[in-house]
A and B are shown apart, each in its own frame.
Chain A
Amino acid sequence: MKTKLAVLVIALLVASIVAPLAFAQPNAPNGPWVDEVVFFAEKDRAKAVDMLSKGDMHLYFIDVSDPQIFQKAKADPNINYKFAYGLYYELTFNPVGPVFKNGEFNPFFDPKIREAMNYIIDRNYIANEIMQGLAAPMYVPITYASVDYARFIDVIKSLEIKYKYNFEKGKEIIFKEMMKLGAEYKNGKWYYKGKPVVIHFIIRTEDKRKEIGDYIASQLEKLGFTVDRMYKTSRQASPLWLFGNPADGKWTLYTGGWIQTAISRDDAGNFAFFYTPLGIPLPLWQAYKPSPQFYEVAKKLYENKFNSIEERNQLMTKALIMALQDSVRVWLVNQKAPFLLRKGVEVASDLSGGFATNMWSRTIRFTGKVGGTIKAGNSEVLVDPWNPVAGSDWVYDTVVYQATRDFATLPNPYNGLPVPDRMLHATVYVLSNYSTLITKSSDWLDLNFVDKITVPSDAWYAYDPVNDKIITAGEANVTEAKVKVVVNYGDVIGKVKFHDGTTMTLADWLVGFPLTFARVNPKSGLYDEAAVGPFQSWRKNFVAWKIVSVHPLIIEYYINYINLEAEFIADWAAGYPAHPLEMMAIGIKADAEHKLAFSADKADKLKVEWMNYIGGPSIPVLKQMLDEAKAEGYIPFKGFLGKYITVDEVKQRYQNLENWFKAHGHFWVGDGPFYLDKVDYNAHQAVIKAFRQFIDKADRFAGFVEPMVPEVSIKAPDVVISGLKADFDLSVTYKGKPYPMDKMWFVKYLVFDSAGQIVAKGEAKAVADGKWKIELPASTTINFGTGSYKLLVLAVSKEAIVPSQAEQPFTVTSQMAYIKGQVAQIQSSLQAKLGSLENGITQLNSKVSTLEGEINAVKGNVNIAMILGIIGIILAAIALAKAFKKS
């Protein structure tokens, strides 16, 4: 018995230890969650879906926007998907007219006809039928994945209502205008000076724009226009619409498409870009003639010429309205591009660009597991040469190599704001005349407005490559700047490791500065004509910098860069070395000696190879550079960098790089969570592996796996009384839990009448986490007539800028009707009560009758009993008498 008890106790003890381990989340390792990611090329979307289903692929970096293929993926139990909203389509009009040079009439020179086209095109049909739900109607030049879309959601919604599909209304306007312009409508066709009005419609054929173009062409034919459908690819179309003179009349309409690869936080410039000659100095743009009012508004927004956010908001509202009145472009749909991944895999996905965000490498994992190999498909892998200065910028390459780098900040995939990575904190000082313009919304940053910003005389202003020395701000007579950013990077010097084992020093931070100046100095061997333009633009904004502390590393940046959001000012200024000095040095040596070139332009000019650190003919050259550099203890820009690294130290670094090369066959060394293990150029595969000496744990950005998009529900009163206050309770949640108040940006509402007109709008008030209230004051409800209404609530959080919406119908009644209703209710209630009282009395009567009957019955019984009693008494008396007689 004792033995059994002991076994039981031990078993329970073991279970108590093992059970939590079995169910616990694994500890986050340093570096990424997974051990390895293999990138391979797979262009065929259908095949990719099959591979995802079978487990031959875990993640597909290309969107699967074909509705049929997506439906298959959606139905597959092994596949998950996330949407991105970067691509959008529009209809570009030729604005020249009323007649082209060739004598043909162009109805679309008239803004009213263009505006009326908004009624002619059913965007819901395009979104739901042609694109089978993989798109949302679009009315304004701002995409769904933009902060300004969320900010002006109420204005945009009201415009959507105003311009919703109404073919008859559009037809009426167009017919009226056409008549006014002298066109004739005969036998169902429009004629101008005896000739049919022909619309030369360039329809792009590579994507869904072919079907969209056909639909719009048929709508135009219904209006009586003769449509010349010109099916063309991008290359065939661009000489006509883009480079051709629109006055030649070779085209009238074009199905345009645009793409946005990251969440936009400022779309103020879009109006000038899309609607005015300020956009691009090409014939089409120069033919735009917006109204003077629209031009002024667009120009102000384009050049940031406003003094406060309120003024910007007013300008934006005006611009949105005027854009639809101008309608030189009619926006059609915003594509919802699905990005697929296998179930059981977690990763962040940018609302604009999908998985191609720097955050992917920080978040990818198999759910609840540490380790494993991710097989990632992409349309292409390893496209152009990789080098740290002017290498490939193909997204197919960047998604791989950005995983091998670390950064000062990372982009938040759901709101577009920079998220601090190595930058721990920033203090931004801006001249006080920008105080009404610049705001901040993050707690890792302080924003101060000051009257003057003085640049210290010993701050580094430039580098002189000829004399190999730094030029200080004092030497350059630079004394002031518009902005000062103080960035604290924490204790990284002497702590952070690069992939080849080198420990980070200041030399790694400084090598890029002289290189920037050497590349634009014609006397330097590193001179590259292509670098001059970007440099000039950078120079205008960058003033000087100064390292004020090494442990922790704190740097002051003096700049002239202005952005409406202080986070972007800090982000613009801050940098972080992604590669060690030794890796940079061999490239600098090769470029300076004209054996290889960092940029494609310089390579073409010198007829040498474009520098590639990971393979191809560059490798033997870089190896030769490494051997030479190691032998001579080469320190680039020695006059400057020599103060920060010794020859022995640099030799040790070259040895590290040589060891790295021997192990991996390439020279790509970073400091990110993954290192590049190997590349296979024949098979077009790249293998990156976990760098377990990475400074961060894998769970640092765990909160970015899913966007915290709020869910809204409305509790409406039974009836709203015109002229009386009405309250609507809102519930704002995320995965069933109350959404924290401080993480919400706003909750706006619109009230529509039965005709679809907006009758009230405003913002809801936060009551508590997850609880919001809309209070319609009596002064608002008094304007509501009796009838049915609809409340539309739009909630946007600071965490994810995608608006959530909820609708709730409700009834409005007048006070008199309400009182009458109440009286009627009371009457009917009283009547009901009286009726029930009558019933009660009747019931009582019947009960009394019953009682009487019962009493009567009792009475009869009593009589019988009495008779029987008397008889009994008589019999008893007789018996007694007889008894006495006997005795």
Chain B
Amino acid sequence: MSFKGFVRYTARRGIVLFLVVVVAIYITIIVANMGGKIDEFVKGDLYLQIAQQVKRDPQYKNLPGSEQEKIIKAKYEQEIKRLGLDKPFFQRSLIYLKDAITLNLGRALYMTSDSGSKLVRNIILERLPATVLLFTTAMVINFFIHLFLGLYLSRNYGSLFDKIVIALAPTSTIPGWFYGIFLILIFASWLHVLPYGGLVDVPPPTDPVAYALSVLKHMILPLASWIISGFFLGIYGTRTFFLIFSTEDYVEAARAKGLPGRLIERRYILRPSLPPIITNFALGLIGSWSGAIITETVFNWPGLGLVTWTAIQNFDTPVIVGVTVIYAYLLAVTVFLLDIVYGLVDPRIKLQ
């Protein structure tokens, strides 16, 4: 492929991916708002909430009923205006879409960030470090454990360890948070050696080193739960993957040529298997940034999963769109880059 062709290909690929992102975001907006039906729910809740607030407030309690009604209506209309619910849903959906595409994440309707900011950007960014710290670490640890032990088993196919891994692979169908509950019961509740959850000790240590160590201590159980959950199936999957690659014709041919085993492994097995491994890694990395709702709940970990969940619960569309758009863009860029990376690492894919 000529440079011009490469540019044309990447531009075409880029446009297609962008359109996919646009469609995905708009679908998210429609789904998150149930096609505008959410407005009714929100308005209902809002009205009852304001009415109860006014009725209970000692400041208004002695006012005549008609005065109270006026106050309720005024407050309600003010709030409707603030939330933008006075505009038709279709119009709002296009505003959401435009803001999302231009990465103008705007302001949340109800939620605030941990530090009290109403900017969606802050709501997401303030939770990202804790999310990355736990879930990306878990993902990276899992990735390498699976890769190395998978490779080891593919070499020691049929060994006792191999048989154990195959036998225990179904245990990975149990999600990490489920193991988490048992780990909490054993190490926090029973042995009382590790914390029940949270990010740091109560009260938080004042010394930065002690603080960091405390965070690490709080990571042990959630990390362990994810590692245990993915352990056997992950290794089994990688091991099988390598076994499939090691029976390809060109590997057999290399063996027939009498090439050394290490060379065959590195050049004929590992290299062609890299694209799917990198894809897995890249997608896993992005996936880890969205957090995990139940694990975060079980371990009381302040991650992005809970932010997304709260946004869905509260129908806070800007936050839902914000989380989705970041994920969609990251995914599109990753896919785009992977297309290029494949050509570099896989000897079977060449520029023409």
Contacts and interface: CB of A to CB of B under 8 A. Distances in A.
Interface stretch (B5-13, B193-201, B229-237): B193-201
Interface of A: 36, 38, 40-44, 47, 50-51, 54, 56, 234-236, 238-239, 242-243, 266, 269, 272-273, 278, 280-282, 302-304, 373, 375, 382-386, 392, 529-530, 533-534, 537-538, 540-541, 561-563, 568, 572, 600-601, 603-605, 607, 609-610, 612, 614-618, 678, 680-685, 687
A238 B46 CA distance: 10
The 3 closest A-B pairs by CB, nearest first: A616-B115, A238-B44, A385-B116
Nearest to B114: A681
Given A36-B203, A272-B65, A534-B59, A54 B192 contact: yes
Given A43-B297, A243-B47, A612 B107 contact: no
A233 to B, nearest CB: 9
A275 B184 CA distance: 49
Contacts of B44: 235, 238-239, 242-243
A532 to B, nearest CB: 8
B124 to A, nearest CB: 14
A616 B116 contact: yes
Contacts of A618: 116
B198 A40 contact: yes
Contacts of A282: 47, 51
Contacts of B298: 44
21 contacts: A42-B196, A50-B188, A235-B315, A239-B40, A242-B48, A269-B55, A278-B65, A280-B48, A280-B51, A282-B47, A282-B51, A383-B112, A384-B112, A392-B116, A533-B74, A568-B58, A603-B118, A607-B107, A610-B118, A682-B114, A682-B200
Given A44-B300, A617-B122, A681-B114, A562 B203 contact: no
Contacts of A540: 63
Contacts of A604: 82, 107, 118
Contact of A238 (B48, B62, B69): B48
Contacts of B119: 609, 617
A302 B78 contact: no
B116 A610 contact: yes
A312 B74 CA distance: 32
B313 to A, nearest CB: 9
B198 A683 contact: yes
Given A40-B202, A243-B44, A687-B203, A280 B115 contact: no
Contact of B196 (A50, A568, A680): A50
Given A50-B196, A238-B45, A243-B44, A281 B122 contact: no
Interface string B78-102: 1100100000000000000000000
Contact of A51 (B51, B79, B116, B196): B196
Contact of A242 (B47, B72, B117, B129): B47
B190 to A, nearest CB: 10
A230 to B, nearest CB: 15
A530 B79 CA distance: 9
B47 A600 contact: no
B118 A609 contact: yes
Given A238-B44, A604-B82, A533 B126 contact: no
B167 to A, nearest CB: 33
Contacts of A304: 62
Nearest to B74: A533
B61 interface: yes
A451 B67 CA distance: 28
A27 B72 CA distance: 51
Contacts of B159: none
A538 B59 contact: yes
Given A38-B202, A236-B41, A243-B43, A616 B113 contact: yes
A373 B297 CA distance: 26
Contacts of B62: 304, 541, 561-563
A683 B205 CA distance: 11
A40 B184 CA distance: 18
A54 B189 contact: yes
B300 A537 contact: no
B187 interface: no
Contacts of B63: 537, 540
Interface residues of B, number: 57
B268 to A, nearest CB: 48
A242 B52 CA distance: 13
A150 to B, nearest CB: 20
A243 B40 contact: yes
A56 B196 contact: yes
Contact of A537 (B59, B184, B197, B302): B59
Nearest to A387: B116
Contact of B117 (A51, A605, A609): A609
Contacts of B116: 382, 384-386, 392, 609-610, 612, 614-616, 618
B338 interface: no
A604 B111 CA distance: 12
Nearest to B79: A601
A438 B74 CA distance: 32
Nearest to B51: A280
Q: Pick the most buried of B69, B73, B112, B116: most chain A CB atoms within 10 A of its CB.
A: B116
Contacts of A44: 297-298, 300
A685 B55 CA distance: 33
Nearest to A41: B300
A572 B62 CA distance: 12
Contacts of B282: none
A610 B198 contact: no
B69 A600 contact: no
A38 to B, nearest CB: 4
Contacts of B198: 40-42, 683-684
B70 to A, nearest CB: 9
Interface string B137-156: 00000000000000000000
B106 to A, nearest CB: 9
Nearest to B83: A604
A680 B189 CA distance: 25
Given A38-B202, A43-B297, A50-B189, A385 B64 contact: no
B55 A684 contact: no
Which among B60, B202, B315 has the highest number of chain A CB atoms within 10 Å?
B202
Contacts of B51: 280, 282
A235 B118 contact: no
Contact of B200 (A273, A601, A680): A680
A300 B302 CA distance: 51
A303, A530, A601, A616 interface centre (most CB from chain B within 10 Å): A616
A684 B114 contact: yes
B75 to A, nearest CB: 6
B204 interface: yes
Contact of A685 (B45, B58, B203): B203
Nearest to A563: B62
A600 B189 CA distance: 41
B71 interface: yes
A800 to B, nearest CB: 22
A201 to B, nearest CB: 19
Contact of A234 (B45, B74, B184): B45
Contacts of A281: 69, 72-73
Given A280-B48, A304-B62, A382-B114, 11 more contacts: A36-B203, A42-B198, A47-B197, A235-B45, A373-B203, A384-B116, A386-B116, A534-B59, A563-B62, A572-B58, A617-B119
A610 B55 contact: no
A612 B115 contact: yes
A561 B61 CA distance: 10
Contact of B118 (A56, A563, A600, A682): A600
Nearest to A682: B199
B169 interface: no
Given A384-B116, A533-B75, A572-B58, A683 B302 contact: yes
B130 interface: yes
A682 B64 CA distance: 46
Contacts of A236: 41
Nearest to A54: B192
